[in-house]
Structure 1
Amino acid sequence: MHSDAVRTLAEQNRSRYGLRMYRMRALGLGLGALCVGAVLYEHAAPPTLWALLIANGFLWPHLAYLRVKLHRGDPLSAEFQNLTFDAAMGGFWIAAMHFDALPSVLLAVMLTMDKVIVGGGRFGLRTLAAMVLTCVAASAAWGFAFDPYTSYPVVLACLPFLAVYPMAIGFATHSLSRKARQQKDMLERMARFDAATGLMNRQQWLHEATGELKRYQRVGRTAVLVLIDIDRFKDINDGYGHTVGDEVVEEFARLLKACLRDVDTGGRYGGDEFGVVMPDARWEEAIVAAERLRRQVAACTFSARGLRCTVSIGLAECHAGIASVSDWINSADGALYRAKAQGRDCIVVGC
């Protein structure tokens, strides 16, 4: 089942990647064929050259898409091969047009620009080299015919390519940059937050706690650190399974977030242990919020099996004797340990 899901996902990724390139290739080669066709018409090109132009401009984009979609390995490598072929064919058509100035420059620039966008400067230079080599070989076959003059009808035929394709590249590049920003935001969130609960992960929460302690040491702003442990969580995992244990953790996180003030910072400190940093608070205020959470947890039904849970809570207020965030956590953790020793389902304030 897992391998089938992975295979399906890989096929979907290949299809999406190939489709993005397919659209740009179909547009670019179709407009490019219009430019080349105008020159071939003036040169009274033979039918074989027309057939090759139609195949390259209007059939090849579909074949290139199928190559990427059906490629069993890395679809990116197949697409890079397609792009190299596109560049080589561009060199062929420049030679076939006897270096007609405007369409030749247009093909060379556009075909190199999109390669740089997709694969970077080195790949752009590599495909440009393929274009030049093919152009030289094809030009040799035509006796190095050279006629750079561009007629007015050819200029008109080049205008759609000159106007439409750069705009399409601009839109495509903007879309890719937006997706890149979204992925960056997602990665940053994954680095900061626990995926199961939506709370800050341990490292980020400790960073917030450290910052709050430094503020207390700098300006004397009071703060309380709270540690919360789900009672007998190991028994829940052993007796009901880890799936139910995960449901308990997720539901508890929802209750915790509902009890937090906007300025409070909640985090998942461990598997079944959670922490809260409460700025601008004294222990008297924190114990009220902690008691509200304890009552809500005790009254809640966890999972579809009607499971009941309780929590033990230890809290510690900042004071002059706390020199580091480790001291602060140890104070709250000691209070949490005493809460468990007193029978659990209670709150203890640390020194």
Structure 2
Amino acid sequence: MNNSIHKGLSYARRMYLPRTVGLGIGFFSVAAAVYPSHPPAWVWALMLFHGYGWPHVAYQLARFSSQPYQAERRTLIYDSLAGGFWAGAMGFNPLPTVTALSMMAMNNIAAGGPRLFVLGCIAQLAGSAVGYWILTPVLFPDVTQIQIYACLPMLVIYPLAIGLVCYRVAVQLSRSKKALEKLSTTDSLTGLMNHGAWKDLLTVEFNNCQTLNRQNSVALIDIDHFKSINDTYGHIIGDNVLKQLGGALTASLRETDLAGRYGGDEFCVILPDTTLAQAGEILERLRRTVHEHTHSALPNLKLSLSIGIAAYGPHLTDAGMWLHEADMALYDAKSTGRNRVTSAQPGVKTALMVR
């Protein structure tokens, strides 16, 4: 409910600018068209209120409504009804009438699409009949030079206001889209790439290696005895350990390296333009950093990493085979004592073991 109210108020705020600008400058085109018929004082008072008071009243109606979105939609219909009234009041003077009603129609279709456009047109017709019936002006009077000049601000400034609002909406949508894309590719706990996003990048890097003959390495990282950490200290500490490793990866790796959380306590890294030896040096530094780190709240908790690395080679047929080599190197690291970095031997086939 609160989210709905927030969206409704945001919608009302977006409409506030074009309504204020449109009615403020529209006053002059209507006044220039109505003046020759010498209307009574109440018409001028109503015209002034509609041009300079109604935008603020309309916004307050939406602001204090329990359903601001619906209140603003009703206000847009009232705008069309009032626009039609002034068209009838000036005897359907061609230029001011077309200018005012077309600008309102543009506003309606920008704010609510075809449905609001149709409802607005119906309201304009009803308002036109009422305005003409009450004031009975001369029908279709000649357009004067003053009326032409009075319509120019509406034709120039109001479309700019609508364009500004649409631009702001487009910018906000673009930001929201980027935020959603980031959420869909980011692991919420560590802030690294999630499994799916990292696997997609692995395929891209594999294809680049094939076409560009690049040197590239991939690594799988596993926290040793992570289950016992959860069992001994609890899952909150376990989550904290995962966050710390995510931070250590970000701090220790190069800007070009692509780190992700593969799943559970396993992490993954792509190291572009890196030989097996270079990758080994980078990840050995990471292993030492993590192993030497002391947890402030739990000084007895010591972490260690087992890391398997595989370099790209022409013997690889797909990204899955490349990842499998890194997985086998990781298994070797774990089976030979853990807390070490092991490099895959290209072309050596190893049976897949369950860890």
Length-normalised TM-score, structure 1: 0.84
Contact preservation (8 Å) 1:302, 1:309? no
Aligned-partner Cα distance in 1 for 2:140–2:212: 80
2:231 corresponds to 1:231: no
Residue from 154, 158, 168 that aligns with 1:161? 154
TM-superposed deviation, 1:91 = 0.8
Residue from 134, 146, 150 that aligns with 2:139? 146
Tell me which amino acid in the other structure corresponds to 1:167. L
Map residues 235-314 of structure 1 onto 2, 5 A cutoff: 235-237=228-230, 240=233, 242-302=235-295, 308-314=302-308
3-state SS of the aligned residue for 1:269?
strand
TM-superposed deviation, 1:188 = 2.9
Aligned-partner Cα distance in 2 for 1:342–1:51: 91
Contact preservation (8 Å) 1:194, 1:201? yes
Query: How large is the RMSD of aligned CA atoms in angstroms?
Result: 3.0
Change (3 A) 1:66 1:264: same
Residue from 153, 160, 174 that aligns with 2:167? 174
Aligned-partner Cα distance in 2 for 1:316–1:70: 63
Per the alignment, residue 347 of structure 1 pairs with: 341
TM-superposed deviation, 1:143 = 5.1
Task: Detail structure 1 runs of 4+ shifted over 6 Å in the superposition.
Answer: none
Percent identity (aligned): 36
- Give per-residue Cα distances to partners, 1:231-257, cap 9 Å, x unaligned: 344444555555544443333222212
Aligned-partner Cα distance in 2 for 1:303–1:157: 73
TM-superposed deviation, 1:230 = 2.5
Residue from 107, 111, 122 that aligns with 2:104? 111
TM-superposed deviation, 1:146 = 0.8
Aligned-partner Cα distance in 2 for 1:108–1:261: 60
Contact preservation (8 Å) 2:307, 2:330? yes
Change (3 A) 1:310 1:138: same
Per the alignment, residue 349 of structure 2 pairs with: none
Aligned-partner Cα distance in 2 for 1:52–1:327: 78
Per the alignment, residue 3 of structure 1 pairs with: none
Per the alignment, residue 336 of structure 1 pairs with: 330
2:79 corresponds to 1:46: no
Contact preservation (8 Å) 1:11, 1:69? no
Change (3 A) 1:227 1:177: same
Change (3 A) 1:332 1:123: same
TM-superposed deviation, 1:30 = 2.0
Aligned-partner Cα distance in 2 for 1:215–1:58: 62
Map residues 3-152 of structure 1 onto 2, 5 A cutoff: 7=2, 11-73=5-67, 75-142=68-135, 145-152=138-145
Aligned-partner Cα distance in 1 for 2:316–2:56: 69
Contact preservation (8 Å) 2:90, 2:137? no
2:201 corresponds to 1:202: no
Tell me which amino acid in the other structure corresponds to 1:331. E
Aligned-partner Cα distance in 1 for 2:79–2:227: 61
3-state SS of the aligned residue for 1:314?
strand
Equivalent residues, number: 344
3-state SS of the aligned residue for 1:221?
coil
TM-superposed deviation, 1:151 = 3.0
Contact preservation (8 Å) 2:330, 2:342? yes
TM-superposed deviation, 1:96 = 1.0
Aligned-partner Cα distance in 2 for 1:236–1:92: 75
Change (3 A) 1:37 1:235: farther
Per the alignment, residue 353 of structure 2 pairs with: none
